[in-house]
Structure 1
Amino acid sequence: MKLSAVLITKNAGPDFRRCLESLAFADEIVILDSGSTDDTLAIAEEAGARVFTSEDWPGFGPQRQRAQEYALGEWVFWVDSDEVVTDELAQSIQAAVVSAPANMVFQLNRLSWFFGRFIRHSGWYPDRIVRLYRRAEYRYDDALVHEKVTCDGARVGSLEGDLLHYTATDFHDYMSKSVRYSDAWAEGRARKGKTATLGSAISHSVGAFLRKYLLQRGFLDGRHGFLLAVFTAHYVFNKYAALWIRSRR
């Protein structure tokens, strides 16, 4: 088996079916679910995926490591349940796994949808992330959130085509995810003995808005760019406020 497409899920959302359909080029689809209560598992089984479940939630990095253990392919391609692989990207992935030498990983460009528009500035595009590597060579780190592939010393190739990321289609889901990520970030920092003040929460929040809207040219994304900069500032404030609250306990 050459290529395993691997996902971690929990109540995958409205784009999950399209996501799985776009992975038809993979030799297998592996899903590790952490307690879905909607139709996620049914959709996964309809698509012919190999589905596994976990009782606890150790954080994003450790959960991805768990999921990788179930894969059988020589190569692992990671995708999230709100992402769709374009035809161009699928062809590029298939070509890469045929001829790539050892110790090589591949990054791709992720194009994100934000409440009615694909964002092409604001630091969101090209959002280059490593998602394809040999299963025996690399894996994810232990970060609870914002996890990354640990591939120090690897050669990094680039794949053609975009991975479409429907990250913001529902306001409630988007804000709920933001709060969960903020809390996970604060927990990870607190474990390392880090603290914060409300002053640092404010200063980091203002800095995040200015960086997103001005330095990363979010204004070129119009009203969506302004809204994204505001939401980014709100998320950053929540991260440091959550860490401050933890330090006050």
Structure 2
Amino acid sequence: MTTQKTTLAVALIVKNEARMLTACLDSVKDIANEIIILDSGSSDDTEAIARRYTDKFYVNTEWPGFGRQRQLAQQYVTADWILWIDADEQLTPELAASIREVLANPPQNTIFEVARLSWAFGQFIHHSGWYPGYVERFYPTALTRFDEALVHENVIIPPGAKVKRLKGDLLHYTYNNLHEYLIKSANYAEAWAEQRFRKGKKNSLASVMMHSIGRFFRTYFIKRGFLDGKAGLLLAVLSVQSVFNKHAILWLKNREINRK
């Protein structure tokens, strides 16, 4: 455990993460004063692995969405600062050192974002709009929290708060295979569409097609996905599918309502 004066909690929300959890927790155990894990109903060895690292393991099986689940997890935090990490992510030594530097002399009213370097289909993806992919993950516990989004949740930036960047990458091991990608993509698409639908958002079938085609050009050409080689081409095609699914589900939800 770390001995810096300012205390740090590392927080995770998990479900069936046994495959990657050990590597994740090994990467943070030396900088954390406490590790908070909120499980949403794992059926694998997630809990057994988690309890090797912490006794602060909690369960909430009434899934409220990613944002609300993170809010619930933060309620268990007692440390001064909080670092969020997902079970398929790992700190690099440079990133861990950067976090220690901040905790040695913590600034006021400041949220830190980190570059996330993702591994997909056999390689790290340095283009395609994936990198650096900055995400806000590190902040004083009393300063803020995540919003209530069902998916693609974000840290709330309070008025006057500063956002600074940490040195080093957060390694993100996204998908073990295409099957995993398709399952996660489908779940995210449904949650995204439901979130938009609840807000009264509507679209047309033409806009579904335009968004999908536009995503390929953005990912492969504008975001230079071609520099990621064959994996970049695969990701560009899959991004089209992902965008199509999201917008098509939203269109179908509104179509069903209009028929009633």
TM-score category (smaller protein): over 0.9
Give CA deviations for 1:187-212 in whole Å, capped at 9, x if unaligned.
00010111222221111000001000
* Correspondence 1:184 to 2:175: no
Give yes or no for contact 1:2–1:73 (8 Å, CA) kept in 2.
Answer: yes
Give CA deviations for 1:152-189 in whole Å, capped at 9, x if unaligned.
43111211111100012222221111001000000000
Secondary structure, in 3 states, of the residue corresponding to 1:6? strand
Give me the whole-angstrom Cα distance separating, in 1, the residues matched to 2:119 and 2:157.
28
Give yes or no for contact 2:8–2:34 (8 Å, CA) kept in 1.
Answer: yes
- Report the equivalent of 1:83: 89
Give yes or no for contact 2:115–2:168 (8 Å, CA) kept in 1.
Answer: yes
Secondary structure, in 3 states, of the residue corresponding to 2:28? coil
Give yes or no for contact 1:106–1:158 (8 Å, CA) kept in 2.
Answer: yes
Q: How many residues align?
A: 249
Give me the whole-angstrom Cα distance separating, in 2, the residues matched to 1:135 and 1:82.
23
- Report the equivalent of 1:20: 25
How big is the shift at 1:13? 4.5
- Select which of 2, 7, 13 maps to 1:2: 7
- Report the equivalent of 1:29: 35
Give me the TM-score of the superposition, normalised by structure 2: 0.93
* Correspondence 1:131 to 2:140: no
Aligned-residue CA RMSD in angstroms?
A: 1.1
Secondary structure, in 3 states, of the residue corresponding to 1:15? helix
How big is the shift at 1:100? 2.3
Identity of aligned residues (%): 50
Give yes or no for contact 2:14–2:40 (8 Å, CA) kept in 1.
Answer: yes
Give me the whole-angstrom Cα distance separating, in 2, the residues matched to 1:33 and 1:184.
19
- 1:114-153 to 2 correspondences below 5 Å: 114-152=120-158, 153=160
- Select which of 170, 173, 179 maps to 1:163: 170
Give yes or no for contact 1:186–1:243 (8 Å, CA) kept in 2.
Answer: yes
**After alignment, is 221-230 or 10-19 more displaced?**
10-19
How big is the shift at 1:221? 0.5
- Select which of 223, 232, 245 maps to 1:216: 223
Give me the whole-angstrom Cα distance separating, in 1, the residues matched to 2:222 and 2:85.
29
How big is the shift at 1:49? 4.7
Secondary structure, in 3 states, of the residue corresponding to 1:80? coil
Structure 1 gap ranges (5+): none
Give me the TM-score of the superposition, normalised by structure 1: 0.97
Runs of 4+ in structure 1 over 4 Å off: none
Give yes or no for contact 1:28–1:49 (8 Å, CA) kept in 2.
Answer: no
- Report the equivalent of 2:54: 48
Amino acid at match of 2:56: R
Give yes or no for contact 1:218–1:229 (8 Å, CA) kept in 2.
Answer: yes
* Correspondence 1:61 to 2:67: yes
Give CA deviations for 1:209-248 in whole Å, capped at 9, x if unaligned.
1000000000000001000111111100000011011112
